[in-house]
Each structure stands twice: as structure tokens, then as C-alpha cells.
Homo-oligomer: A and B are copies of this chain.
């Protein structure tokens, strides 16, 4: 009953096997191998567009490099207050952008409120040097709250970013979970909706270590080559990332894995909603469930071996929890078993 995080799982067998299958033989290093090139082309097919693709080692690296490509002196990046870049990356985005600032934007259930985003951007009038200058907008899809921006919502954010001439970045650490949740194509969820820069995550969905920065404007690729190398993110044996992605995409494995993770979350959510002692804080749309549980129930589950974390209570929920209740996050993954879900539900 491990619901701590989707990165507590290891690698899917097909991905592990493909790594082993590519272990022998010599190929060009530093991303110049046939396999690297093949997988880069695979991204073009998946996104139905010429894109520039850069394999990197962590989601933090992908986010930080994507934002660094938009760097301006005194730059300000607008993100949700609970965004991974804002609360979980130890200042990496600021470091890679030479001191750019992250400006938190509020909004319920992990989504930036469009009006608030607009208001925050307007606090930095063009050319006014004292406060700094807007540099980029970043949104997480699926969000850190397990919700998903609809295409309409992405377009609304994109329109604001475009009106202020700001590139729009998507942190897609859980890109596949959002994609199958919405039932749209990768192109629709990104550049067709106004996304300029993407962190494409494979790690949380069954890879060991496979992340990519995707630039929808390939004209900006040259600088990113140097940004990535200078950031120590160009792997010599880069094919080990490419091999993971090869298996990840083969036969749409990635979509199947995400569908499984989302289905497990839905099953968990349904069980919690139906339980007597617990309830959902809000609907689970991807592979994360946020539940309000009595503390003693949670503790009992943890004693039975369940692993999951309590979560800070967002403003809009304040007041709706009883004294003996708390908010908890439960994350499912490609590796989650329905038996574990059912055991959890039975005990809560």
C-alpha cells in the first residue's frame, strides 16, 4: 500500500529490458547516436510538429533549463503557489536563471486563477526597472493537486501570456496522466493550445530517469544545447535515456501506464468517497487523490503498512476540516496494484 509518490516505483519491465538490450555495442556519445536521433524524431511524430528535443536527467533540470531559455535580467516567472518549481526545487529555477524570481499566483486545486495571473503580471509594468520584468509563465499539467487544466483553461492562460509577450511553459512531470485524463493529443495539449516550452516527464510514469525539454520553436534550439551542457545535463551515454524512451513509446506503453495509474486513482477515490470515515478533498482527475481523513484512521492505515503523506491544507479548505481530521495525499503509479487499493479502501 505505497501511495507516497509515483517516484517510489522503479522502472517498468519493458523499459528495464530495453536498457539491457542496448547495453552492448559502440555508439556515438553525447546524444549523437542513431538511437538518440531516432527518439528525437519520435517526439516529432508524437507532437505532429518540428520540435527541438533535449534529454535531461531530472524534472527539475527540465523545468530550470526551459525557464532559463527565457531568461531576462530582473526576470519574474509566474507560477502557481504550490507549483513544484516554487516549493520543491531548492531554488534551481532561480539559480539557472541567474536570480530570476518566482512570483506565486493563487488559484484553487493547484490551478492558477487567470484573473490573478493577469493581476500579478500587471504589477510589473513594461520598462519599469525597479520591480523587475516578467519573463515567463509556467503551469503544471497534471497539477500538483492531481487536477488537470482543460484545453480551454490552457488557452486562457496562454492568451494572457501572449498578450504580455511571455513564453508559456508546461511542467509535464505527469504529462501522460493529464493526456489520458483529458483524452486529447499531445499536440492539442501543448502547442495547439499555446504552450511554447515543455518539460516532458517519463520518470514518474515508469522510466528510471528519462526527462526531456521540448521547444516548440526549434529556432531556439542552438542556445539550449549550450544551456544543457553548461548545466552538466548532457549525458555521455545518452542512449540510456533514449533506450528508455524507445520502450516507453513503443506500442503506446506510456499511455497504457498512465491510464493504469489514473484508473487506480479513480478506484481509490471512489472507495474513499464511499467510506464512512473519510472523504475526498476534491475530485481526483489524474493519479493523485487528496483525501480528508480522521487522523486516527490515517495512523491506523500507516500501522498496517500504508505509506502516504499528510498535506498542507489550502486556504479554500480552511474551516472545512474537523478537529480530528487532516488532509492526505495518495499517489498511484504504473505499478499500483488494485489489491493494494482495495485493501486501503477496506481499512479506511
Contact = CB atoms under 8 A, between A and B. Distances in A.
A225 B72 CA distance: 11
A57 B11 contact: no
A16 interface: yes
Interface in A10-30: 10-13, 15-17, 19-20, 22-30
Nearest to A312: B123
A13 B22 CA distance: 10
A240 interface: yes
Nearest to A15: B23
Q: Within the oligomer, what is the number of copies of this chain? A: 4
A60 B222 CA distance: 20
A230 to B, nearest CB: 5
Interface stretch (A44-52, A88-96, A146-154): A88-96
B17 A232 contact: no
A299 interface: no
B11 A23 contact: yes
Contacts of A12: 23
A8 B235 CA distance: 11
Interface in A219-235: 222-223, 225-235
B235 A209 contact: yes
A204 B30 CA distance: 13
Contact of A223 (B10, B25, B72): B72
14 contacts: A5-B236, A10-B23, A58-B232, A68-B73, A73-B90, A73-B91, A73-B223, A76-B91, A89-B229, A90-B230, A127-B222, A127-B225, A132-B226, A208-B240
Interface of A: 2, 4-5, 7-13, 15-17, 19-20, 22-30, 56-61, 64, 68, 72-76, 87-92, 94-102, 127, 129-133, 203-204, 208-209, 222-223, 225-237, 239-240, 307, 335
The 10 closest A-B pairs by CB, nearest first: A95-B99, A61-B232, A94-B99, A7-B236, A74-B90, A2-B26, A16-B23, A90-B229, A129-B229, A60-B232
